[in-house]
A and B are shown apart, each in its own frame.
Chain A
Amino acid sequence: MGTVLGPPVFRFCHGTSRMKAALVLKHGLDQELAKTHQCGSTRPGSFHVFAAPAGLQLAYEFAQRHEPPHLILRGELPLGVFTDLIKLGAVVEERIIGSDASDPPQVVFFPPAYLVFNKSVRWLDPFIPPRKK
C-alpha cells in the first residue's frame, strides 16, 4: 500500500451522502453520530471503509443506500498506525457476507479506534460520483 515515493499509508474510501460526509469531516469519527446516521450496518457505531482504490466501486455502490447527493470520502492513515489498530483489535478486515471472492474485503473501525483515527487521519479530496445514466 502507499506509493514508492511516499511514506507507507493505508488509503481508504467510504461512500455516503454529502450531508453525512460533512458531519464526519467536521466532527471526526464519533460513535453516537455513527449510530444516528448509519445505514444498513449490523454493528451500530462502527465505521466501514474499503482500501482505495480497489474498493472505490463498492464504496460508490454502498453510497447509493444514502439519500443523494452522494460522495466518496477518501483518507489515509500512516500504515503503522493502521496495523497497530488491527493488532489491538480496534480494526478488522473482513469479507462481507454474500460478497464474491473477487470483491475487496471491508475494513471496520470500531469506536476504540476513533481517538487514534481522528488524530492521525489525513482527509484527501473526496470523490463526487458521476451522475447516473
Chain B
Amino acid sequence: MSGTQLNAKVIPLPFPRPTRAGTGWSRTWRLSFSSPNGSESVDALRTSLTSAGFLASVEQVSELAINVIVHYATNQDPFSDENFVFRPREILRLVESSLGRIAQIEGVARTLWPPFRPQFSFMVSTSSPALVLERFVRNMLAQQQWNRGRIVIPGRPEALQVGTVNFATVNELGLKLSPADVTPQIQLVVFGDDLVLLAAEDSQTFHDDCEQLETLVEDQFDVGMALAS
C-alpha cells in the first residue's frame, strides 16, 4: 500500500504494548531521570499510584531509572482508549510529583510526550509563503485573539470549538488573505493549546522559513514554540 511519510506531522512515540501476564495483562513504562528525588520517594510513588486506583508496581532499575509496571485484571481491557493512551498521562504526572522531573520516557524526551508536550507548538509542513504565516501569527497575537489555546473570533462562537479553521475564517480575522496567497491544502488548526499549521505538501525551504518564524515569535512574544520534526 502506498502512502505519504508523515515526518513533519506526527511525533513518533513508542507506547509500550501490554503483554499477557498470568490471567491478566501488564505494561511496563521505562522512565529515566536527570536528578531523582531519592529512593524513599519511590515508596511515596507506590502509595500515590495505589491511591489513584492503579494496580501498579515500581521497580527501581538504578538511581536514575525506574520501571512502572501497570497490571490489568482479566476484566479490564489494557487496549481501551482510556487505559492505552489517557491513564498513562496520569501515571506520568504522579511519577513527577513523587520522583522529580523525568528526563526520558521509553527512551524519548519527556517534552515530546503528553502531558508534558509544550503548550504552544508549531507544526508546519506547507508550501505557503512564510510571510503569510508570519502575518497571521503576528496579527493574532497582537490582537490578543490567541487566548488559552483557542482562537476567539468575534461573533462566531462556534469557532471557539477545537477544530479546523479554514482560510475563509482566517479572512474574517481581518487578514484579507486571497487564494493566491495560500495553497488550498493549508489548514490552520487549533489542537488543544497548540496552533497547528498543516498542508499536504512538504517543503524544505518552507520548513527552514518556519524555523526562522519560530525564533521571531519566541523573541517577540515571549512564548515557547517547538517545531515538530
Residues of A at the B interface (CB closer than 8 Å) are 1-6, 11, 18, 21-22, 25, 39-42, 51, 53-54, 56-58, 60-62, 64-65, 71-72, 96-106, 125-133
Does B10 contact A129, Cβ atoms closer than 8 Å?
Answer: yes
Chain A CB within 8 A of B193 CB: yes
Does A5 contact B184, Cβ atoms closer than 8 Å?
Answer: yes
Chain A CB within 8 A of B5 CB: yes
Q: How many residue-residue contacts, CB under 8 A, span A and B?
A: 146
Which of B31-39, B79-87, B129-137, B209-217 contacts its partner?
A: B79-87
**Whole-angstrom distance from the CB of B133 to the nearest CB of chain A?**
16
Contacts of A104 in B (CB 8 A): 162-163, 191-192
Contacts of A62 in B (CB 8 A): 81, 84-85
**Whole-angstrom distance from the CB of A18 to the nearest CB of chain B?**
6
Contacts of B198 in A (CB 8 A): 53, 56
Contacts of A5 in B (CB 8 A): 179, 184
**Whole-angstrom distance from the CB of B126 to the nearest CB of chain A?**
11
Does B81 contact A133, Cβ atoms closer than 8 Å?
Answer: no
Does A53 contact B184, Cβ atoms closer than 8 Å?
Answer: no
A98 and B166 in contact (CB under 8 A), knowing A40-B79, A103-B192, A128-B5?
no
**Whole-angstrom distance from the CB of A124 to the nearest CB of chain B?**
9
Chain A CB within 8 A of B67 CB: no
Measured CB to CB, the nearest residue on chain B to A21 is: B1
Most B-side CB within 10 Å, residue of A39, A53, A129, A131: A53
Measured CB to CB, the nearest residue on chain B to A6 is: B184
Does B17 contact A3, Cβ atoms closer than 8 Å?
Answer: no
**24 A–B contacts from the bound complex (CB under 8 Å):** A1-B164, A2-B166, A3-B184, A5-B184, A6-B184, A25-B1, A40-B79, A40-B81, A53-B164, A54-B162, A54-B190, A58-B85, A97-B81, A97-B86, A98-B81, A102-B162, A104-B191, A105-B162, A106-B81, A126-B2, A127-B3, A130-B5, A130-B12, A133-B108
Which residues of chain B (100-120) have a CB below 8 Å from chain A? Answer: 107-108, 114-115
Measured CB to CB, the nearest residue on chain B to A103 is: B192
Category for how many chain B residues contact A: 35 or more
Q: Which of B107, B114, B184 contacts A133 (CB 8 A)?
A: B107
Rounded to whole angstroms, the CA-CA distance of A131 and B107 in the bound complex is 14
**Whole-angstrom distance from the CB of B15 to the nearest CB of chain A?**
4
Does B193 contact A102, Cβ atoms closer than 8 Å?
Answer: yes
**Whole-angstrom distance from the CB of A93 to the nearest CB of chain B?**
10
Contacts of A65 in B (CB 8 A): 17, 79, 84
Rounded to whole angstroms, the CA-CA distance of A2 and B87 in the bound complex is 33
A102 and B149 in contact (CB under 8 A), knowing A3-B166, A39-B79?
yes
Measured CB to CB, the nearest residue on chain B to A127 is: B6
Contacts of A6 in B (CB 8 A): 184
Rounded to whole angstroms, the CA-CA distance of A51 and B166 in the bound complex is 13
Does A3 contact B187, Cβ atoms closer than 8 Å?
Answer: yes
Rounded to whole angstroms, the CA-CA distance of A105 and B163 in the bound complex is 9
Rounded to whole angstroms, the CA-CA distance of A33 and B113 in the bound complex is 33
Chain A CB within 8 A of B173 CB: no
Q: Which of A4, A99, A102, A127 contacts B9 (CB 8 A)?
A: A127
Chain A CB within 8 A of B4 CB: yes
Chain A CB within 8 A of B56 CB: no
Rounded to whole angstroms, the CA-CA distance of A100 and B88 in the bound complex is 12
Contacts of B10 in A (CB 8 A): 56-57, 60, 72, 127, 129-130
Top 8 closest pairs, chain A to chain B, by CB: A102-B192, A40-B79, A98-B86, A5-B184, A98-B82, A128-B3, A64-B15, A132-B14
